[in-house]
Chain A
């Protein structure tokens, strides 16, 4: 193990990364020694297994998985090399990639038989090769307890939120891009995903209503932690 990141994001899992001879990450092991962390890892294992089945891959990313009782689990994965979505860029700048992330999601999840969500379908959790989706990571919130389409709405709104927070504003082009993404996701999935009059409040309420699903990690969701002012501003901009 060359790199260990310990309990970041209010979590209680440890992520250990192994580098190859060229100093590039090639394996990631997640480990936890308490119930909180171990249940995350077991969920992640379930999520990836499900995802791989849907993708029909023959080369599983799962190298090994072990758990003991409820308070210990360890999952070793192949490291997917590519670029993760970058939320410090503008919505417009990210438009093509986000669109592909939404398409990928609909292809995988929105089949009539599926009632699952990734649970943390952040743009940052999608790995790209150029603009194409290579893989989706961080499955520890994988669940069948969230309303269908949650991921799609969350993904778009999170990108808008970070654009506002990190860049200070959404330009006209950003707003147009966001609206296009919402329309795209709704058409593609055939669902109504969001209340267009107050989209930020809508997401905040969805997260708050489903707090139990996220557990202690609910605080890592930006909407849940943000001030009323930001939410209202975002609603106003996107209306």
Chain B
């Protein structure tokens, strides 16, 4: 049992193949009612058919191999122990498991985990242990894990309570009022320190997160975390003021510049954080380039924007900023590989 070897909590209850630790909040692209209906049919129809039936718009997020584009950086091998923190539907858990690693996938949201469980069963991947727990309430035993994966989770750590992204995203009133009252930086730092302690001496961390200074934020692209525009790049005190006016709470989904991220990781103990830049974002990257690789940049072909005018404008901006000027400071997202 891998779980006992890496988690401090020994009293975990196991039920239907899922380990339960201290409970946390809820975070999902789906409302809880939708999730409930979905989960009822899941065992009957299987994962692909149920997803197609209930939320085809998320089919790609769940099944597209594109999301795992950054994994060559991690260079994981058979037999390694990898922890996917905030695994959600397992977009990275499943590819990792396929390489033959032992994976521990942790998330607070049971609904997401149940879809992951179903997929693991369908794909016949017994080398994954699934844990439902609040990441802020569990601890890792010292030096036990080869690699950690944090894909789009760090910025959510300061939250607590219920986040139903569908209600929340794009609607100012929808934002959850509840949040962790501690300083976001301290919460993220504490979380990363926990990860650091769990790593073997030669272990590494794969971390993907949005860039606070993503060029498109300056053009009014809403922050995907709180859905406000023109906020990510403001100084922290201004972020708080704006967020208090519109959402009635401070700004807590802290993202960083490359320098800020390096500093945070360094403070958590990591040395040697190598930053790569993901285009058009880390969620479905088409290209991930290091600074040295920027000479090979090509403006992205696929974008979510439907409007042809917006597509062209984005193309031109990217061409100038990234291909010609190689200004990585404004890249959309970071993928960081940090060594212990």
Interface residues of A, Cβ cutoff 8 Å to B: 1-8, 12, 14, 16-17, 19, 23, 29, 31-34, 36-37, 66, 68-69, 71-72, 74
Q: A3-B293, A6-B286 are in contact. Are A68 and B69 (CB under 8 A)?
A: no
Residues of chain A lying within 8 A (CB to CB) of residue B99: 33, 68, 72, 74
* Sampled A-B contacts (8; CB under 8 Å): A3-B289, A3-B296, A4-B70, A6-B69, A12-B65, A32-B65, A69-B98, A74-B99
Answer whether residue B200 sits at the interface, using C-beta atoms and an 8 A cutoff.
no
B residues with a Cβ closer than 8 A to A are 64-66, 68-73, 75, 78, 94-95, 98-100, 123, 276, 285-290, 292-293, 295-296
Please report the C-alpha to C-alpha distance between residue A17 and residue B293 in the assembled complex, in whole angstroms. Answer: 9
A121 to B93, CA, bound (A): 36
Which residues of chain B come closer than 8 Å to A16, judged between CB atoms?
72-73
In contact, B73 and A4 (Cβ under 8 angstroms): yes
By CB atoms of chain A within 10 A, which of B73, B99, B100 has the most? Answer: B99
Q: How far is the CB of B308 from chain A (nearest CB, A)?
A: 20
Once the chains bind, are B71 and A14 in contact (CB under 8 Å)?
A: yes
Q: Is the CB of B293 within 8 A of A7?
A: no
Q: Determine whether the beta carbon of A31 is less than 8 Å from that of B71.
A: yes
* A residues near B285, Cβ cutoff 8 Å: 4, 6
Pick the contact of A72: B64, B100, B292, B293 (CB < 8 A).
Answer: B100
A33 touches B98 (CB 8 A): yes
Q: Closest A residue to B94 by CB, please name it.
A: A33
Chain A at the B interface: SS class: strand
Partner of A1, one of B64, B68, B73, B98: B73
Report the minimum CB–CB distance from B136 to chain A (whole Å): 30
- Cβ–Cβ contact B100 & A3, under 8 A: no
Given contacts A8-B286, A16-B72, 16 further A-B pairs with CB under 8 A are A3-B290, A4-B70, A4-B285, A4-B288, A5-B287, A6-B286, A12-B66, A17-B296, A29-B72, A31-B71, A33-B65, A33-B68, A33-B71, A33-B99, A37-B65, A71-B98
B80 to chain A, nearest CB (A): 13
A207 to B68, CA, bound (A): 31
Contacts of B69 in A (CB 8 A): 4, 6-7, 14
For residue A68, which residues in chain B have a CB less than 8 angstroms away from its CB? 78, 98-100
Highest count of chain A CB atoms <10 Å: which of B65, B70, B73, B287: B65
Task: Give the docked Cα–Cα distance between A12 and B284 (Å).
Answer: 12
Q: Chain B nearest CB: distance from A25 CB in Å?
A: 8
- Residue with the greatest number of chain B CB neighbours at <10 A, chosen from A6, A32, A33, A37: A6
Least Cβ distance of A75 to chain B in Å? Answer: 12
Q: Please, which residues of chain A bring their CB within 8 A of the CB of B290? A: 1-3
Inter-chain contact B289/A14, CB cutoff 8 Å: no
| Pairwise interchain contact B71-A23, C-beta atoms closer than 8 A | no
**Chain A, Cβ-Cβ closest to B72:** A16
Closest to A72 in B: B98
The reply to whether A6 and B98 contact each other, CB–CB distance below 8 Å, is: no
A1 touches B287 (CB 8 A): no
* Complex contacts, A8 vs chain B, CB 8 Å: 286
Q: Are A6 and B288 closer than 8 Å at their CB atoms? A: yes
Considering the chains assembled together, what is the distance between the CA atoms of A3 and B285 in angstroms? 12
Q: Which residue of A lies closest to B289 (CB)?
A: A3
Can you name the residue of chain A whose Cβ is closest to the Cβ of B99?
Answer: A72
Q: Inside 8 A of B295's CB, which chain A residues have their CB?
A: 23
Determine the distance from Cα of A2 to Cα of B64 in the docked complex, in whole angstroms: 23
Give B63's nearest chain A residue, CB to CB.
A34
> Is A7's CB under 8 angstroms from B66's CB?
yes
Contact in complex: A4, B94 (CB < 8 Å): no
